[in-house]
Structure 1
Amino acid sequence: MELKIQMLDFSNVDRRIEHLDKEQIVELIKRYYAGESVNKLKEEYNVKINNSNFYTIFPKKILEENCPYCNVPFVQDWESKSSYSFMKKSPYCPLCEHENHDKCRCKTCKKIREEMKLLEEIRKREAISNTYYEGNYEKVPESNLSLEDKLYLSVLIRGGLEEGFDYIKPIMLFENKIAPTDDFANEIILTLTGRGIIMPHSNSNINAFVDDDNFPRNYYIYKVNYRINVSPADDDYYGMIQRLMYPSQSEFEKDQTFCFEMWKKISLHECLEYLLYSMNKVGFEFKPGKKTITVFEHLLEHFSVAQIYSIIYRAIANSTKLYQEQKISKKHAANAVITSCESYGERAIAEGWSLTKYRRNYDLPETLISKVFFTSILKIAHLGFEEKPTDKI
């Protein structure tokens, strides 16, 4: 290897080799990396150190590149000759310890990164404020809201409207689930955003937006604050919020078809929620498809959610027993649950059985959509769970 005196930093020579002159030190380093015996070199040069740390007493190598902050040459520590590369340790500044790479942790680089981060946060905050400035969006007249809009909006307002009525907090921070299943919850949010009824609020956390080339157009629907983008019918914003928070029972009762269909929809998703919960409890993997939905929709024509709970419980218990007795595979057992629900339900219908009504599962408390619809609007409370859906409301 090529090594000269001027390529080494002799400003702070290790005491264990300070008895050697510069030429001897250069020669010692060359012979070490040429593969000569460390014991032989220690004896010849009278160096007292264990073999594994022999290379650590060599003066640092001076490089041609200068530190951009201190304008002094970078230095580099040596490595053991058994290492993959003699000089793979990062060069650094002997004064400020700056290393010439993106992850340098010297004080100057840390300060620069902090300043850049602050500037980037300011840029992003301005982009969010400009993009979601309230004046950029035409408000939806309150009179144009459908019953579905009012129900879904009431769910979000009841679940997370902050005290000043200015915005709805991130849905991920709600104390209660807004709907029994993720699919239903997503539908509620996407229906309202898709119709321009709610919009991301400009005070949302920067991390609520996807950090991509379209920033801040793309966002995480459970992480942003939402602004209610509705204009009141009477120019009274707070009065409108009260009306949206507590929708009129009489207005909903005028449309029995809507109420009947929504009752069935909520009930369907409560059945799916209990099915997935119960499957998971016994270790069955299952993803509901069209068949599952069709079976539950049929059962809901004859039974309440409370009664279908009992059907699901029985079906899973039977499948679990067959699997544990090694009569069927785990996958077969999971797939057999819906078939069992269908068969048992059909027999119960045909023979006029009176099925047991289960209580709500402790781990599956009533969700906001159910509370708002059955208790606040229809005023039937637990009957929405204990009775089968009906259009006689």
Structure 2
Amino acid sequence: MSHSTIHPKLAHLTSEQIDTLIQAYYAKTKVSDLIRLFNIDCALPQLYKLFPPEISSELCPNCESVMVLPRISQGGYRNEYKNGLHCSHCQHRKTRACACSYCSKTNKQQKKIPSIQPQAPSRTTHHSLKAADLSLEQAVSLLSLMQCYGPARIKNGMKFRLSNGSKMPFAPSGGYGEDLLSRLIEAGLLKISGQAHTKSIALSNNKMAITFNAQWSLPDTVSSELIQDIEARVIECNWPTPWYEQVSDLALDIALAECREFYDYCAAKRMFPEADEHSVTAMLRNQLEDFSTGQCFRIIQSCAQYASDFMVKQTATPRQAADYMIGACQRWADKARAENWVVTAFRRNFHCPRSMVSCTLYDFILKTNDEGIETPIALIQLPNLK
């Protein structure tokens, strides 16, 4: 154990004593007894936070430093967004939520997909897809797509039906809906006839618009039987095994898109210019580690007003106010964490309506309705699965 990783409040203990302390703590020994026995000056809930992290054999892909795993509380569970594996030197974290410069650059490179060419005619024989062949994101995207724009032959046979489904946007405004459609195309689950580029695919005014007169259609592999198989798996709580681990990632993506949509709405309402995309995304990801989507709405709304007040009182420019809004959101969240504020969650704004992908995940699959807006991602409960 490196001495540099030892907290000052544990500095009076030897490495062997710290190891013994950690083992006793996770053996569910009473925390008050451990604090007294090892003469540690800290509050009961803070003890585990003093422990040095676990050292992983894995190296950081960015700077090649060792990766470490923070300790968790006795009754806690591992949340990859908050206390997952991360680099001991740089800001990299081993999670899809990582917003470090290395991951941001990698993600941008992966999104640079070449133009989509007309797909070759399907062969007479093809693999019949099952729900188990799809990721959770693909399943949610397909069900949502069918609800909003699907052909009647498939839509009429679906178990998951919403009375207002035709009036609901497919995804939150912004790039998220485009990304979902692009990934369906890449996976061969959606076809475009005629030449088109992924950037030409957009969701506008609650309708799917594909520019350059390109038309979308379903490949032969996406059939009524596939949609019925997905729905049966959900209704019977018999998920494909990979879906269990994919819930948090998908929930984060949806929450991030919803928060970004509301952030952009609040900024545009005050005529602030567009803020730096990376800075806003990193700030929102940080907030979603501990706060629900609705709580983030509350923070964003408050800080948009703070930024507006700042612009008036300090005679600042709209650009300065836009930058101030990002910092205000981060400072608000940090103070709320440090002082254990009870943050009231906001409901959805009329101008940022709930999307079909949100309804599909939370109403149909997780069976929590729109309670997801009030639940932090780390606390999402899975239904009683087989």
What TM-score bracket applies, with the shorter chain setting the length?
0.5 to 0.7
Structure showing greater Rg: 1
Alignment partner of 1:197 is 2:189: yes
Could you say which residue in structure 1 is the equivalent of 2:107?
none
Q: Does the aligned pair in 1 maintain the 2:303–2:329 contact within 8 Å? A: yes
Partner of 1:175: 167
The C-alpha deviation readout for 1:121-178, integer Å capped at 9, x for no partner, is xxxxxxxxxx667536975531332222212111111111121349xxxxxx963322
Consecutive unaligned residues in structure 1, runs of 5 or more:
1-130, 167-172, 202-215
Relative to structure 1, is the Cα distance of residues 320 and 243 closer, same or farther in structure 2, using a 3 angstrom cutoff? same
Query: Which of 330, 335, 339 is 2:327 aligned to?
Result: 339
Alpha-carbon deviation of 1:389?
0.6
Provide the secondary structure at the position in 2 that maps to 1:275: helix
CA distance in 1, matches of 2:166, 2:124: 26
Distance 1:252 1:367, change over 3 A: farther
Q: Which of 117, 128, 143 is 1:154 aligned to?
A: 143
- Counterpart CA distance in 2 for 1:187 and 1:247 is 25
Question: Aligned pair in 2 of structure 1 residues 132, 291: CA closer, same or farther (>3 Å)?
Answer: closer
Tell me if 1:241 matches 2:227: yes
Superposed CA offset, 1:83-141 (max 9, x none): xxxxxxxxxxxxxxxxxxxxxxxxxxxxxxxxxxxxxxxxxxxxxxxx66753697553
Q: What is the deviation of 1:226?
A: 2.8
Residue of structure 1 equivalent to 2:247: 259
Query: Cα gap change, 1:264/1:135 in structure 2, threshold over 3 Å: closer, same or farther?
Result: closer
Q: Secondary structure at the match of 1:251?
A: coil
What percentage of aligned pairs have identical amino acids?
Answer: 20
Cα distance in 2 for residues equivalent to 1:293 and 1:349? 19
Q: Is the 8 A contact 1:286 1:335 kept in 2?
A: no
Look up the equivalent residue of 2:221 and give its one-letter code: S
Contact 2:259 2:284 in 1 (8 A): yes
User: Does residue 218 of structure 1 match 2:207?
Assistant: no
Q: Are 1:253 and 1:378, in contact at CA under 8 Å, matched by a contact in 2?
A: no
Secondary structure of the residue aligned to 2:153 is coil
Aligned in 2, Cα 1:258/1:163: closer, same or farther, shift over 3 Å? same
Deviations 1:229-261 (A, max 9, x none): 2537xxxx4333333467624316874321011
Partner of 1:103: none
Residue aligning to 1:98: none
C-alpha change, 1:358 and 1:161, in structure 2 (3 Å) is same
- How far did 1:373 drift? 0.7
Q: Distance in 1 between matches of 2:240 and 2:342?
A: 31
Aligned to 2:122: 135
Asked if 2 retains the 8 angstrom alpha-carbon contact of 1:299 and 1:345, the reply is yes
Match of 2:267 among 279, 282, 293: 279
- Select the residue among 213, 223, 228 that pairs with 2:218: 228
Equivalent residue in structure 2 for 1:295, among 273, 283, 291: 283
Distance 2:241 2:367 in 1: 11
Sort the Cα spacing of 1:149 and 1:138 in 2 relative to 1 into closer, same or farther, 3 A: farther
Map Cα deviations across residues 336-390 of structure 1 (whole Å, 9 max, x no partner): 1010000010000010000121110011110111011111111111121111112
Alignment counterpart, residue 337 of structure 2, candidates 343, 349, 352: 349
Residue from 167, 184, 188 that aligns with 2:180: 188
2:360 counterpart of 1:372: yes
Aligned partner of 1:351: which letter?
E
SS at match of 1:341: helix
With normalisation by structure 1, the TM-score equals 0.55
Q: 1:330 aligned to 2:318?
A: yes
* CA–CA separation in structure 1 for the residues paired with 2:187 and 2:346: 38
CA contact (8 A) 1:180 1:367 kept: yes
Ranked by relative contact order (alpha carbons within 8 Å, sequence separation 6 or more), the top structure is 2
Rounded to whole Å, the distance in 1 between the matches of 2:359 and 2:377 is 15
CA-to-partner distance for each residue in 1:275-309, whole Å, 9 max, x for gaps? 00011111111244222212211111111111111
Counterpart amino acid of residue 347 in structure 1:
K
Cα RMSD of the aligned pairs, angstroms, is: 2.8
Cα distance, 1:238–1:179 mapped onto 2, change above 3 Å: closer
Secondary structure of 2:325's counterpart equals helix
Relative distance call for 1:263 and 1:287 in structure 2 (3 A) is: same
Residue identity opposite 1:217 in structure 2: Q
1:88: which partner in 2? none
Residues 1:174 and 1:382: Cα distance change in structure 2 (over 3 Å): closer
Q: Secondary structure at the match of 1:324?
A: helix
Partner of 2:134: 145
Distance 1:135 1:191 in 2: 19
Q: Give the TM-score normalised by the residue count of structure 2.
A: 0.56
TM-aligned CA distance change 1:272 to 1:255, over 3 Å: same
